[in-house]
Copies of this chain bind each other. A is one copy, B any other.
Amino acid sequence: MATMKDVAHRAGVSTATVSRALSGVADAVRPATRERVLQAVAELAYHPNHLPRNMRQRSSRTLGLVITDIANPFFTAIVRGCEDVAQSQGYSFLLANTDEDAAKEEQTLRTMASERVAGVILASADEASEPIRRLLGSRIPVVALDRRIDGVAVDTVTSDNDSGAYDATKHLLDLGHERIGLVAGPETISSMRERTAGYTRALRSHGITETLVSAGDLRERSGYTATLQLLDLPEPPTAIFSANNLMTIGVLAALRERGLSVPDEISLIGFDDLPTAELLQPPLTVVAQPTYQLGARAAELLLQRVRNPDAPVQEIVLAPQLVLRASTGPLRG
């Protein structure tokens, strides 16, 4: 494979000149010289080697993207947003799934640190873990995505989970429901805590203090199980708010299994939209997060931070949106 030295030799210049000609620093090289270099590049089919450059500059033009599961459509759209922004600015993305496993997350962050990524976007499985703190302590910029990292000053991009959950619950209250079940996520995840808080806040604002909460682990199966528990209550709920997309699918399956017609016998609203939400029976009413934007803003924030490590920490909160379809209806006697 041709090296810069080969190109320099063929063009009759030094490697320094080749480097300047190719790195596009204007005015640094005479047009005629650049021309000769470019021709030599073409003739030798020279492909720049980023490895020495990365080493010399102590950093690669690569970002890390650490999420819990790419198979979750919520993260899928986020990844798209990140990738589009990064690509447009000449950066690549190293992707890793942690499966909500702190050990895997630690391993991944270690590797990315060793690869000297320019920065990391992190939806952390474990907000308080030591490796995260170490990463933050090192010089690698981090943006927390969807999930806050406790007690550390770090750039953050989230949805307004509290107000989204409030809106969802309020919507059900406005339809006359008072016994509203929550299929909640783990309290260890900030976004899930916030959703539970929004739900509780809405109930309180209507003078309701009793909450009907059944917690899951964000996966479909747990939504199914949590729903059955709610339905088996002495006084089951007349409406259910599910705190994430995968669990909502489980909720729907459980309601079907019990032969409950939605929304006639029970209303359902979910946090997070689903690609096929409109085609489900009934079309699902949801609080949709601006997932693509979430990813895009996170990538922008990270690249800003890479360029300007000492800028003040930013926190971006995007507004979720209530999408009314047909899975919620007025309370029936």
- Given A51-B116, A55-B51, are A96 and B76 neighbors across the interface (CB < 8 Å)? no
Binds B, one of A107-115, A121-129, A149-157, A177-185: A107-115
A276 within 8 A of B: yes
Contact check, B114 vs A49: say whether CB atoms are below 8 A apart.
yes
The one of B71, B94, B253, B278 in contact with A94, judged by C-beta atoms closer than 8 angstroms, is B94
Contact check, B58 vs A51: say whether CB atoms are below 8 A apart.
yes
Binds B, one of A79-87, A190-198, A310-318: A79-87
Q: Report the copy number of this chain in the oligomer.
A: 2
- Most B CB within 10 A of own CB, among A45, A48, A70: A70
Compute how far the CA of A100 lies from the CA of B299 in the bound complex, rounded to whole angstroms.
23
* Chain A, range 135-150, C-beta contacts under 8 Å to B: 138-139
How far is the CB of A316 from the nearest CB of chain B, in Å?
22
- Given A70-B83, A276-B274, A279-B253, are A115 and B62 neighbors across the interface (CB < 8 Å)? yes
In the complex, chain B residues whose CB is within 8 Å of the CB of A54: 51, 54-55
Compute how far the CA of A275 lies from the CA of B253 in the bound complex, rounded to whole angstroms.
13
* Chain A, range 248-269, C-beta contacts under 8 Å to B: 249, 252-253, 256
A26 within 8 A of B: no
Contact check, A114 vs B280: say whether CB atoms are below 8 A apart.
no
Q: Which residue of B lies closest to A274 (CB)?
A: B276
In the complex, chain B residues whose CB is within 8 Å of the CB of A252: 279
Q: Which residue of B lies closest to A47 (CB)?
A: B113
Contact check, A95 vs B83: say whether CB atoms are below 8 A apart.
yes
The one of B50, B70, B116 in contact with A50, judged by C-beta atoms closer than 8 angstroms, is B116
Write the A162-204 contact mask toward B (1 if CB under 8 angstroms, else 0). Answer: 0000000000000000000000000000000000000000000
A-B contact pairs, 28 of them (CB 8 A): A47-B113, A47-B114, A49-B116, A50-B114, A52-B55, A54-B55, A62-B94, A69-B80, A70-B70, A71-B76, A71-B80, A73-B275, A87-B96, A87-B108, A92-B96, A92-B111, A92-B112, A92-B115, A93-B94, A93-B95, A93-B96, A249-B275, A252-B279, A253-B279, A275-B275, A276-B276, A276-B280, A279-B281
